[in-house]
Amino acid sequence: MSGQRHPDTETLASLRAGLVGGLHGRRLAAHVARCARCAATGDELAAVSSLLAATPTPALPASFERRISAALAAETAARALTAGSSEETATGPAALGQAGADPGIAGEHARARVPAERPKAAPSRRRGPALRLRPAMAFVPLVLCVLAGFGYLLSTIGGPSNGSSSSEAFSTASPSAAVPAAGREAPNRPATFVVTASGLNYLPSTLGSQVRLEMAAQYSSSSGQQSMAPSASGSASRNSFAAGSATTIPSEFGAPNSALNGCVLRVTGGVRPSLVDKATYQGQPAYVIAVPARAWVVERGCTASHPAIITTVALTATR
């Protein structure tokens, strides 16, 4: 190639990028130096770079920033919960206390707090939260007992509206309440649940972990609730995992919604859900329903006869 034929654009771009060396490179460079056409192409290539550099890059839109910040806040809450609950449950063995403050020290607990030590992101995302939640799961019966007792107190002391509306709303709830954890242990027992509106946008790739985190966030807000003043309305939108008549229905769901109730019972097979979240899935309105081992995404129009399940995912699978 001694100047008769023009190199193609990609070759010129490679030459400019310093990728064509040796004799070939020197010949090409010599050609470009005395060929107006190739020199012009070289200028145009440079102009592509400068045009790209001059194109403004937008700032992160506020709506996205809120969404991502919320997701990070949920992570933070889940992490705090895990750290907190492992302190409470692991009373005996090795006072790991501030577990994981130094990841090098506290072996198992560090792994639970910062689960993704595996090389690839995807599997760790799946497995991580399962590990993370294990201490939280152990914590559940305790939370339930305390909550149920607390709910009983509430219904006897202050909250006639609260208690009665819940048993109306989901007629399957036991009216006499305070039957701790029974709903959880007997699969055939009808469900009692609270509908949350997390505002999360669930995604296929992270559905399992988002559900686990949301469940964890609810456990943590439940346990937070015990220590809070028993204001019946205080539990409005981001409501907690509830047992028996301690169930508090967010105001927007105060009216009985038998369609949703039927849908949930149908989907879970009668098991009381740990989570019923009015949210979006890939941007589309949906309910996310979960029991400890499985989550479902259903359309908003889901009913007992037409469950309209969009997708489902196992939560404990170790894959």
Partner 1 sequence: MAGGEPSDAELLRRHVAGDPEAFGMLFARHKDRLWAVALRTVCDPEDAADALQEAMISAFRRAADFRGDSAVTTWLHRIVVNASLDRLRRRQTRSVSWSGDPEALDALAAQAARGGAAPGGSPSSGIAAQAPGTASLDSAEAVETRLDVDAALRTLPAEQRAALVLVDMLGYSVADAAEILSVSPGTVKSRCARGRSRLLPYLSHLRTNSARGGNQPGAASVSSEQEGGV
Residues numbered 51-80 forming contacts with partner 1, rule: CB under 8 A: 51-65, 67-69, 71-73, 75-76, 79-80
Footprint of partner 1 on 118-157 (CB under 8 A): 121-122, 124-125, 128
CB closer to partner 1, 7 vs 159: 7
- Cβ contacts of 193 within 8 Å, gap of 6 or more: 170, 242, 247, 264, 272, 273, 276
Check residue 20 for interaction with partner 1 (CB under 8 A): yes
Min CB(127)–partner 1 separation in Å:
11
Structure tokens at 113: 């707090």
Under rule CB under 8 A, how many of the chain's residues touch partner 1? Answer: 73
Helices first, then strands: H and E counts in the chain? 10, 6
110 vs 106: CA distance, rounded Å: 5
Least gap, CB of 105 to partner 1 (angstroms): 12
Closer to partner 1 by CB, 200 or 290: give it: 200
d(CA 51, CA 98): 52
In the complex with partner 1, which residue's Cβ is closer, 291 or 313? 313
Q: Which of 4, 17, 37, 157 binds partner 1 (CB under 8 A)?
A: 17
Site for partner 1 in 246-285 (CB under 8 A): 283
Residue 23 makes contact with partner 1 by CB under 8 A: no
Considering beta carbons, is residue 67 or 189 the nearer one to partner 1? 67
Kindly state whether residue 229 participates in binding partner 1, applying the rule CB under 8 A.
no
Q: Which stretch binds partner 1 (CB under 8 A): 182-190, 197-205, 251-259, 293-301?
A: 197-205
Cα–Cα distance measured from residue 206 to residue 192, given in angstroms and rounded to the nearest whole number: 27
Considering the complex, state which of residue 117 and residue 185 has its C-beta at the smaller distance from partner 1. 117
CA geometry: angle 70, 309, 134, nearest 5 deg = 50
Interface pick for partner 1 out of 1, 3, 9, 251 (rule CB under 8 A): 9
Which is closer to partner 1, CB of 14 or CB of 311? Answer: 14
Please state, in angstroms and rounded to a whole number, the distance separating the CA atoms of residues 46 and 84.
57
Least distance to partner 1 from the beta carbon of 290, Å? 18
CA distance 5 to 27: 12
Rg, the chain, Cα only: 29
The answer to whether 76 and 113 are in contact (CB under 8 A) is no
What is the rounded distance in angstroms from the CA atom of residue 295 to the CA atom of residue 290? 4
Q: How far is the CB of 208 from partner 1 (least distance, A)?
A: 12
Would you say 117 or 252 has its CB closer to partner 1? Answer: 117
Residue 277 backbone phi and psi in degrees, to 5: -115, 120
Query: Smallest gap, in angstroms, from Cβ of residue 111 to partner 1?
Result: 9
Q: Could you say whether residue 311 binds partner 1 (CB under 8 A)?
A: no
What part of residues 90-119 is at the interface with partner 1 (CB under 8 A)?
Answer: 98, 100-103, 110, 113-117
Q: Are strands 195-196 and 275-281 parallel, antiparallel or unpaired?
A: parallel
- Which residues have C-beta within 8 Å of that of residue 262, sequence separation ≥ 6? 303, 304, 305
Question: Binding partner 1 by CB under 8 A: which of 49, 164, 226, 233?
Answer: 49
DSSP string of 217-239? HHHHHHHHHHHS---TTTT-SSP
Q: Tokens for 258?
A: 């038998």
CB 29 to partner 1: min, Å:
5
Q: Which stretch binds partner 1 (CB under 8 A): 141-149, 160-168, 199-207, 292-300?
A: 199-207
